[in-house]
């Protein structure tokens, strides 16, 4: 999480939801992270930073049913 906050999030990005499923490995694991961005243009930069940091992710906002459920 520390690496994600320090290397991926922008200065105006805000974490609005965080759920982590810890298994045996304390360093890696699946997490659900809700992020509020200040502007739409920040979204593409966020995705670029996640890819550059080799963070695997799925954009649930592409699925209206999941996105509505989580909000």
Ramachandran assignment for 38, one of left (phi > 0), alpha (psi -120 to 50 degrees), beta (any other):
alpha
DSSP for 1-64, please give it. Answer: -HHHHHHTS-TT-EEEEEEE---S-SS---EEEEEE-SSTHHHHHHHHHHHHTT-----GGGSH
- pLDDT, residue 8, reads 92
Reported as a single tens digit per residue, the pLDDT across 28-62 is 778 888 899 998 889 999 999 999 999 888 887 77
Reported as a single tens digit per residue, the pLDDT across 4-20 is 888 899 999 999 888 88
Query: In terms of pTM, does the model score above 0.85?
Result: no
Q: Where are the domains of the chain?
A: 2-70
pLDDT at position 26 over 80: no
């Amino acid at each position: 999480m520390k690496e994600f906050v320090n290397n991926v999030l922008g200065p105006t990005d805000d974490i609005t939801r965080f759920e982590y499923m810890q298994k045996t490995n304390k360093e890696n694991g699946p997490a659900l992270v809700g992020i509020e961005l200040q502007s739409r243009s920040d979204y593409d930069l966020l995705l670029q930073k996640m890819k550059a940091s080799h963070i695997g992710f799925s954009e649930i906002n592409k699925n209206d049913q999941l996105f509505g459920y989580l909000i």
